[in-house]
A and B are shown apart, each in its own frame.
Chain A
Amino acid sequence: MRHVAALVWKDVLVEARSRELVAGTAVFALLVLLVFSFSFDLRGPQAQAAVPGMLWVTVLFAAMLGMTRTFQSELESGALDGLLASPVDRGTLYLGKLVANLIFALAVALLVLLAAGLVFNAATIGAGPLAVVALGTVGIVAVTTVLAAATVRSRARELLLPLLAVPLLVPVVIGGVEELALALAVATETATRPPWPGLLAAFDVIFVAAGYLVFEFVIEE
């Protein structure tokens, strides 16, 4: 736990000083939201049904963009080898990176919710939407952190990461959109509806555990 805290502290401090990841990703996310708002006529209740989908696409794209950078600067500076040369267990390195990435991704997701509320005139700020976005973001970060490590030494990493991550994240997007629609009151509960919050939580647990176990094999040369 002490090692995880040290790794998170280091990443937060580096980000606070370089402002590469969160600032760049947040601006990108806001631009995507603006493109959606220019592209669709969002007046009327039918159009509001598209808001959860647009929101998740924005969060997913922003996460992809941010995660390609997550190990890249450490690889370029050689600091990644410094981490790998240390006796710290690889699963712990994964948890440290996961928690730091989660802090950054949740900050961006919160900004997206705020901006979406203004742009789409939707009630995006509330316990329901926040909980759904947090649940989905954990899954997205759990998957992309492992895949970012797996692809960081590849020259085509910017392309490879979304190609590998998006198919794996389809359940998160479907569940996230369905549940967010409910939280935003643009959909109603039905008897046949799958228990999405439970499924999203299960996805999170499975992928965090899988990431912890496989990280050694993807990060080592």
Chain B
Amino acid sequence: MEALGLGRRFGTQVALRDVTLRVGWGERVAVLGPNGAGKSTLLRILGTLAPPSSGELHIAGLSPRHDRARIRRRLGIVAHQTYLFDALTALENLLFYGQLYDVPRARQRAAELLERMGLAARADTRVRQLSRGMQQRLALARALLHEPDILLLDEPDTGLDQDGQAILAAVVREHADRTVVLTTHHVERAVALCDRAVVLDRGRLVRDSRVDDRGSDAVRALSLVAAGGG
């Protein structure tokens, strides 16, 4: 995944400025930064949901300008919103998305994912009747349904309890060749899950470093930068 000089404006507001980021296959990258730093905007652009105002983006050697459908087939996205239909049940949501992504044996795959997310007993419960944490688990199942090789996770731990966070951690770590880009406010979690951390501040990429040291000093130093203080 290669983003070169990405910029994004909303009228006079600049959300991203000249962000260059290269993510290799199998890399797990945490995007940190204070509120309004541009993390979600960056993920929306990487997810082909919003075009950049400037700069170039290539995903798996493909350009979103010409190969959007092929790129989208390889992406699994968990965003702030769950992308789920409230009136449908958990299983119906997965079957619906399974059809959109042409997932073979979608019912079996959906059942496996519901089991894995601890939602098997809730398969026939409508989404609006699930708790926020359960909805987030289901959103994770939806993102994994078509076995994407790139996962884009925008604050995926929102509403998750301890079990949910353990599932999330397992999902992030499970495939050595799956690329993961995740945003979070929790530096400890980013350090624990990712090999690399980049920090955005007011739309600029201000730090890009490998996470070799997972000790408390490293967490503290990264927290300082991510809070906009360093």
* A interface residue numbers (CB < 8 A to B): 2-3, 6, 9-10, 13-14, 17-18, 74, 77-79, 81-89, 220-221
Contact in complex: A89, B69 (CB < 8 Å): yes
**Which one of B16-24, B83-91, B170-178, B199-207 is at the interface?**
B83-91
A89 and B87 CA atoms in complex are apart in Å by 24
Q: Which residues of B contact A9 (CB under 8 A)?
A: 96
Contact in complex: A77, B69 (CB < 8 Å): no
- Chain A nearest CB, measured from B51 CB (Å): 7
- Chain A nearest CB, measured from B10 CB (Å): 10
Q: Which residues of A contact B48 (CB under 8 A)?
A: 85
With known contacts A81-B83, A85-B75, A221–B97 Cβ distance under 8 A:
no
Contact in complex: A10, B85 (CB < 8 Å): yes
Q: Which residue of the partner chain B has the closest CB to A83? A: B100
B211 CB within 8 Å of chain A: no
Contact in complex: B99, A85 (CB < 8 Å): no
What is the total of A-B residue contacts with beta carbons within 8 Å? 72
Q: List 22 A-B contacts (CB under 8 A).
A: A2-B99, A3-B99, A6-B100, A10-B88, A14-B88, A74-B85, A77-B86, A78-B83, A78-B84, A81-B49, A81-B79, A82-B83, A82-B84, A84-B49, A85-B49, A86-B97, A86-B100, A87-B69, A87-B70, A87-B72, A87-B101, A220-B51
Contact in complex: A14, B101 (CB < 8 Å): no
Chain A contact surface mostly:
helix
Contact in complex: B99, A77 (CB < 8 Å): no
Q: Which residue of the partner chain B has the closest CB to A85? A: B77
Q: Which residues of A contact B70 (CB under 8 A)?
A: 87
Q: Which residues of A contact B73 (CB under 8 A)?
A: 87
A111 and B50 CA atoms in complex are apart in Å by 41
Contact in complex: A81, B81 (CB < 8 Å): yes
With known contacts A13-B92, A85-B75, A221–B50 Cβ distance under 8 A:
yes
Among A79, A83, A84, chain B packs the most CB atoms within 10 A around the CB of A79
Q: Name B37-54 residues within 8 Å CB distance of A.
A: 44, 47-51
B142 CB within 8 Å of chain A: yes
Contact in complex: A79, B100 (CB < 8 Å): no
Contact in complex: A86, B87 (CB < 8 Å): no
Contact in complex: B69, A79 (CB < 8 Å): no
Q: Which residues of A contact B75 (CB under 8 A)?
A: 85
- Chain B nearest CB, measured from A112 CB (Å): 26
A83 and B84 CA atoms in complex are apart in Å by 10
Contact in complex: B85, A79 (CB < 8 Å): yes
- Chain B nearest CB, measured from A97 CB (Å): 14
Among A18, A78, A220, chain B packs the most CB atoms within 10 A around the CB of A78
Q: Which residue of the partner chain A has the closest CB to B82? A: A78
B214 CB within 8 Å of chain A: no
Partner of A221, one of B49, B92, B101: B49
- Chain A nearest CB, measured from B140 CB (Å): 13
3 closest residue pairs by CB, A with B: A78-B81, A82-B83, A6-B99
A2 and B95 CA atoms in complex are apart in Å by 13
